[in-house]
Amino acid sequence: MRVLLAMWEGGGTIPPELTIARKLIARGHDVRVLGDPTIERSARTAGCGFSPWVDAPHRTNLDPSTDILRDWEFKNPFALLRHGMKAFFCGPAGRFADDTARVMQEYRPDVVLVDWILFGAAIAAKARGVPCATLVPNIYMRPAPGIPPFGMGLMPARGVIGHLRDTLLAHFSARLWKPGLVWINETRQRYGLPPATDLMGQADELDAVYVLTTRAFDFEATSMPANVRFAGPQLDDPSWATPWTSPWPATDTRPLVLVSLSSTFQNQASVLRSCLAALATLPVRSLVTVGPAVNLAEFPSPGPHVAVVQSAPHTQVLQHARVMVTHCGHGTVMKALAAGVPIVAIPMGRDQPDTAARIVGRRAGVRLKPTASSAHIARAIARVLEDPSYAAGARQQADAIRRETAAFDMAGDIERIAKGPRESFPREMPTAVGS
């Protein structure tokens, strides 16, 4: 079968989605990625064909000046949401739909997979009558009863006041998202679909919503739409991770601490420097991977027990690590927990505070603010090393990851979706935006 995978330059969203592509290719299917030109090399390395976004917003390089969301400039998460809706999530939905429709006309996919935030791509697939599923490479972010409102890193509600908190915040969040429906419904109307009344509710029209985490890690909702499937984390390392050999002898028994912050720019230099200063004071071995978005030369090692590199295969390193210090990108967290490694979480934005809340809720680590001093970071690392309950919590998550991923055949489920009813392609395309 032919699979079209619509992606965007979301940093940590890319490796898990390409993991799914590799699984499908291994079963004999053809996969084409529709995405930013910055993804092309990784997509082709995974064995996929590639088509770029042309009219839709996209990036041709990873320089911070080309970032579409520029989330580090917004201290207010609600202002960031308004900006994101206009600049990426909803405002350009028509252009995402047109690019997707163009590639579908050429490629004729049997099934379309879209990153959950690419509403326009899903609209094009739905309008064509082609089976379509969305990928959520994070925790479940749609409002649901029992789950705290997304974006603030809240723990589950307790008591009357807690539930009132959630009700009020959910209402406020829905009002913030509502302006985006104007752009979405303009696109839906042009593609012959009825108007949506709930931005996130569009996912109910799709054949499946694949949440790439485990139920054991995420907070539990009292009810969810019937098409939601927890598919488990997809754990392949990114193609740009370079091989790494430990510089320390095998006889060195000091605990290994792995530090990794965002693979995209989040203005993380100060947090990295605080981590390096913390590691300088601890009797540990440390590997710090700064990622492709910052200049390695700006972060010299504070001593021979701290190795600082651009990248390394985390899956390999975590087999030997005792603690992971991370910004709480979901993919990084899942790799650590799959290895049974507890976490010092330093969320810096996006979905990271909510992922950090789940780490704390599962007793698999501790959470710090990005403004934490080097002394606070050092104490947090020592605490996680010395308290065996955190390692026990991480091992419980490792067991759940193995159990849940073994129980769900995601490639097989996509094959089942692709065999569903399909309408023929129309003779004429909708008029493109701006024409």
C-alpha pair distances (Å), 153 with each of 89, 147, 265, 350, 369: 21, 11, 21, 10, 11
271 sits in which H/E element: helix 269-279
For residue 333, what are its two tokens? 């967290």
Are 357 and 351 in contact, with CB atoms under 8 Å apart?
no
Q: What is the assigned CATH class of domain 256-403? A: alpha beta
> Quick count: other Cβ atoms within 10 Å of Cβ 126?
21
- Rounded to whole angstroms, the Cα distance separating 189 from 337 reads 44
CATH 3.40.50.2000 positions along the chain are 2-232+408-418, 256-403
282, 334, 294, 288: which is closest to 308 by C-alpha?
A: 288
| CATH for the stretch 2-232+408-418 | 3.40.50.2000
- Rounded to whole angstroms, the Cα distance separating 262 from 325 reads 11
Sheet holding 208-211, edge to edge: 49-52, 30-35, 2-6, 111-115, 132-136, 208-211, 228-230
- Rounded to whole angstroms, the Cα distance separating 194 from 215 reads 33
pTM for the whole thing?
0.93
For residue 328, what are its two tokens? 């709480």
| Helix residue ranges, H only, 118-179 | 119-128, 159-177
- Rounded to whole angstroms, the Cα distance separating 424 from 435 reads 25
- DSSP string across 213-266: S-TTTSPPPS---TTEEE-----PPPTTPPP---SS-TT--SPEEEEE--SS-S
The one-digit pLDDT tens for each residue of the chain (435 residues) are: 999 999 999 999 999 999 999 999 999 999 999 999 999 999 999 999 999 999 999 999 999 999 998 988 887 777 888 899 999 999 999 999 999 999 999 999 999 999 999 999 999 999 999 999 999 999 998 888 888 888 888 898 888 888 888 888 888 878 888 899 999 999 999 999 999 999 999 999 999 999 999 999 999 988 999 999 999 999 999 988 999 999 999 999 999 999 999 888 888 999 999 999 999 999 999 999 999 888 999 999 999 999 999 999 999 999 999 999 999 999 999 999 999 999 999 999 888 999 999 999 999 999 999 999 999 999 999 999 999 999 999 999 999 999 999 999 999 999 999 987 655 444 344 555 543
Burial profile 306-332: b = 16 or more Cβ within 10 angstroms, e = fewer? bbbeebbbbeebbeebbbbbbbbbbbb
